[in-house]
Structure 1
Amino acid sequence: MWLVLFDIDGTLVRMRPTPVRRALQEALQWTLRRAVQPEWLEDLAGKTDLQIFAEVAARYGWSGEELVRLMPRFACVYTSLYRRWVSARDLSVLPGVEALLRQLQSLPTVVLGVLTGNLEAIAWQKLRWAGLAPFFRVGAFGSDHWEREHLLPYAWRRARHAGLPIEPEKTILIGDSPRDVACARRWGVPCIAVATGPVSAETLSAAGAAVVLPDLTLHEHFWHALYELHAQADYCH
């Protein structure tokens, strides 16, 4: 079976940035007991929530075991503040997404999942708000590891534990940032990149995406890309 893993932010949904940044900034300040400048939270595309925490903490000299010890506290605080400041009104599903997920879900040879930098609780909250949670059977999350490139094996393990007969080499990642592409390349699987986030199609192509689409509304282009990747996988294996 094929495992098709979607990023969330910028790929499936778009969030209004102001309340999200407020929750994140407050959680960082509460955990570190230090001021956090808004400009430190500008380049977030593709980063895990724990990576953002680690980078801000490093500005104040936190590292090693001390940093790791604080990560669960940050995750708890951020999840709580996220639920306080962010709501379903701050989210919109990107065009073409729901129809594409319905088509993919109907295929008996495809398992849908997410691979996201969001903490797990926040990821599922977004998917519930968007009405997309029922499509996804497995996931890998920013609470699993602070480096996105290490997340894919978590999705594979969860699929196996759920009794899903996926083949790791038949995995496709779909995302909107060079970090999505880097994660896919790290494990030798293709990434279909979509230019629906803050990163241009040219940058995504230069990062090594197997295919770059302008968005997920052109379903015939998506299916053509999927067919080509399927054929390549069968040829190589």
Structure 2
Amino acid sequence: MKRILVTFDIDGTLIKSSGLLHRQAFSHAFLQVFNVKGSIDAIKYHGQTDPAIIVKTLVHYGIPYELANGKLPILKSSMVDYVKSHAEDIGKGLEVLPGVETLLQRLSSQKNVIIGLVTGNLEEIAWMKMEALGIKKYFTVPNFGGFGSDHMERGHLVRIAAERAENLFPGNLDLRVHVGDT
């Protein structure tokens, strides 16, 4: 039986998101680390990783690239802490797209299919979104993927997820499929 790896993007692929809490987490981190009152709405961010959005937004507000990039670990940690402290609100503004849950149910029922995420979201925030929407249970355990917390450039995330899958679930993968909107 062929072994298949299927990875999914989140925003725009699995879910529709106005993502208020996630967006507020960016603003919180900007304020906490740089005393910048700003929003990611100041830039075009669709399809970018959270770290790239952080740096580009801060540069927009006058923070030098090197300084913003150097503070990424603190900024990412601030975002995750903010979301955790407001966990009861994580599902607000999020909606599973039509057909997604049925697809995930069918894929997860197949013994030869390994399911993970590939998303620009920070890993902890990504899994919190999946849990809040009731679809985390369909992803292969242990949960894995490629995330914005792993690399700033989205192009690296599919490879990272595949390497993790190969390490967690030894044996040849006959087919790798990524489903995303960017």
TM-score, length basis structure 1: 0.66
Q: 1:106 to 1:37 in 2, by over 3 A?
A: closer
Q: 1:139 to 1:37 in 2, by over 3 A?
A: closer
Structure 1: how far apart are the matches of 2:115 and 2:21? 29
Aligned to 1:21: 23
Structure 1: how far apart are the matches of 2:92 and 2:57? 28
SS of the aligned residue for 2:150 comes to: coil
Consecutive unaligned residues of structure 2, counting only runs of 5 or more, are: none
Aligned to 1:147: 153
Number of residue-to-residue matches in the alignment: 174
Aligned to 2:178: 173
- 1:1-237 → structure 2 map (5 Å cutoff): 1-37=3-39, 39-41=41-43, 43-59=44-60, 60-64=62-66, 66-85=67-86, 86-137=89-140, 138-167=144-173, 170-177=175-182
SS of the aligned residue for 1:172 comes to: strand
SS of the aligned residue for 1:22 comes to: helix
The offset of 1:166, in angstroms, is 4.5
Structure 1: how far apart are the matches of 2:84 and 2:46? 21
Cα deviations across residues 92-132 of structure 1 (Å, max 9, x unaligned)? 21111111111112223321111011101101100111111
Flag the structure with more relative contact order, 1 or 2, with Cα contacts below 8 A and sequence separation at least 6: 2
Cα deviations across residues 156-191 of structure 1 (Å, max 9, x unaligned)? 221122124353x721111122xxxxxxxxxxxxxx
Identity of aligned residues (%): 32
Consecutive unaligned residues of structure 1, counting only runs of 5 or more, are: 178-237
Q: Is the 8 A contact 1:114 1:139 kept in 2?
A: yes
Q: 1:135 to 1:166 in 2, by over 3 A?
A: farther
SS of the aligned residue for 1:114 comes to: strand
> Which 4+ residue blocks in structure 1 deviate beyond 6 angstroms?
none
Structure 1: how far apart are the matches of 2:129 and 2:41? 25
The offset of 1:61, in angstroms, is 4.5
Counterpart amino acid of 1:13? I
Cα deviations across residues 70-111 of structure 1 (Å, max 9, x unaligned)? 111011111122234533233221111111111112223321
Counterpart amino acid of 1:6? F
